[in-house]
Amino acid sequence: MAGWVVVALDVIAFFAFSIALVLVLRERFENSNPYSGVIKLLFALAVLVYVFVAFSNILEHAGITAVLDEYEDYVEILFVPLIAYAVYTMHTARLYNDARRAAELLNAEHGLLTAIIDTSPTGIMLVTSAGTLAFANDMARETLRLQSGPGESLQMPDDLTCLSTQDSSVRPLSLEGLARGVTLFGSTCIVETGGKKVALSVSSSPLGTDAAPGAPQGSVVAFVDVTEREEARQGLLDAQARYSLDLERTVDERTVELLAVNRELGTVNRAKREFVANVSHELKTPLSAVRGFAELLLSGAPGPINAEQAKQLQIVADSSQELLALVERLLELERVESGHAVVTPSHVELDQVVEGVVDLIEPLARERGVKVVVESVGSVVAETDAGLLGQIVRNLVSNAVKFTPSNGSVTVKVLEVGEYRRISVADTGVGIATADQERIFEPFAQVADSAATRGGTGLGLAICRELAHALGGSVWLKSVPGEGSTFTLEIPARFSAG
Ligand code: ADP
Domain annotation for the chain: domains and CATH numbers: 2-115 (no CATH), 121-225 (3.30.450.20), 234-340 (1.10.287), 346-492 (3.30.565.10)
pLDDT recorded at residue 51 = 94
- 176 Cβ neighbours under 8 A, 6+ residues apart: 131
Ligand 1 site-directed mutation target among 372, 403, 425, 467, most atoms within 8 Å of CB: 403
Task: Band the pLDDT of 390: cuts 50, 70, 90.
Answer: very high
Ligand 1 pocket residue status of 485, Cβ below 6 Å: yes
453, 463, 480, 488, best to mutate for ligand 1 pocket (most atoms within 8 Å of CB)? 453
Q: Which residues of 337-357 are buried (b: 16+ CB within 10 A; e: fewer)?
A: beeebeeebeebebbbbbeeb
Query: What is the predicted pLDDT for the residue at 167?
Result: 58
Other C-beta atoms closer than 10 Å to the C-beta of 263 total 10
pLDDT in tens, 67-98: 898 898 888 899 999 999 999 999 998 999 99
Note the pLDDT of residue 425: 97
Does 406 score more than 60 pLDDT?
yes
pLDDT at 364 over 80: yes
Contacts of 58 (CB under 8 A, 6+ apart): 7, 10, 11, 14, 64
Q: What percent helix, strand, coil does the chain show, rounded to 5?
A: 55, 20, 25
Helix (H, G, I), strand (E, B) or coil at 126: strand
> Helical H runs in 145-226?
175-180
pLDDT, mean of residues 231-248? 90
- Residue from 394, 399, 465 whose mutation best tests the ligand 1 pocket (most atoms within 8 A of CB): 399
Establish whether residue 443 lines the binding site of ligand 1, counting it when its CB lies within 6 angstroms of any ligand atom: no
Ligand 1 mean position, distance from CA 445 (Å): 8
* pLDDT value at residue 256: 82
Residue 170's pLDDT band (cuts 50, 70, 90)? low
How remote is the CA of residue 446 from the centroid of ligand 1, in Å?
6
Residue 182 sits at φ, ψ, to 5 deg, of -120, 140
Per DSSP, the three-state class of 371 is strand
What pLDDT was estimated at residue 432? Answer: 92
The average pLDDT across 403-422 equals 94
Question: DSSP labels for 455-495?
Answer: T--S-HHHHHHHHHHHTT-EEEEEEETTTEEEEEEEEESB-
Judged against a pLDDT cut of 60, whether residue 210 lies above it is answered with: yes
Confidence of residue 448 (pLDDT cuts 50, 70, 90): low
The answer to whether the CB of 93 is under 6 A from ligand 1 is no
Stretch 382-388: mean pLDDT: 93
Q: Is 458 in the pocket of ligand 1 (CB under 6 A)?
A: yes
Q: Is the confidence at residue 450, as pLDDT, over 60? A: no
Residues in the chain: 498
| pLDDT value, residue 168 | 55
440 Cα to the center of ligand 1, angstroms: 7
Better pLDDT: 257 or 479:
479
Residue 1 in this model has a pLDDT that exceeds 70? no
Residue 131 has pLDDT above 90, yes or no: no
Q: Quick one: average pLDDT of 54-72?
A: 91
**Does the structure show a pLDDT above 90 at 488?**
yes
Asked whether residue 136 carries a pLDDT value surpassing 70, the answer given is: yes
Above pLDDT 90, what percent of the chain? Answer: 42
| Residue 99 in this model has a pLDDT that exceeds 90 | yes
Atom of ligand 1 nearest to the CA of 462: 6
How are beta strands 409-417 and 196-206 bridged, if at all? unpaired
More confident residue, 375 or 184: 375
Residue minimizing CA distance to atom 13 of ligand 1: 446
- Reported as a single tens digit per residue, the pLDDT across 25-43 is 887 766 678 888 899 899 9
Task: Select from 63, 59, 81, 85 the least CA-distant residue to 72.
Answer: 59
Q: What is the whole-number distance in angstroms between the Cα of residue 403 and the centre of ligand 1?
A: 7
Query: Which band of pLDDT confidence, cut at 50, 70 and 90, is reported for residue 498?
Result: low
Percent of the chain with pLDDT over 70: 92
| Higher local confidence (pLDDT), 415 or 452 | 415
User: What is the per-residue pLDDT for 493?
Assistant: 95
Ligand 1 atom with the smallest distance to the CA of 430 is 25
428 lines ligand 1 (CB under 6 A): no
Ligand 1 geometric centre to CA of 418 (Å): 30
Cβ of 457 closer than 6 Å to ligand 1, yes or no, is yes
The Cα 130–Cα 283 span in angstroms is 104
Protein residue with its CA nearest to atom 21 in ligand 1: 399
The alpha carbon dihedral of 288, 290, 296, 299 has a sign of negative
- If one compares 114 and 446, the residue with the highest pLDDT of the two is 114
DSSP E strands in 128-183: the ranges are 133-136, 147-148, 154-155, 161-165
442-465 exposure pattern, b = at least 16 Cβ within 10 A, e = fewer: ebeebbeebebbeebbbbbbbbbb
Average pLDDT, the chain: 86
pLDDT at 164: 63
The answer to whether residue 63 scores a pLDDT higher than 60 is: yes
pLDDT above 90 (res 184): no
Does the C-beta of 440 come closer than 6 Å to ligand 1? yes
The rounded Å distance from CA 284 to ligand 1 centre is 25
Whole-number Å distance, alpha carbon 414 to ligand 1 midpoint, is: 22
* Ligand 1 centroid – CA 453 distance (Å): 7
Atom of ligand 1 nearest to the CA of 457: 2
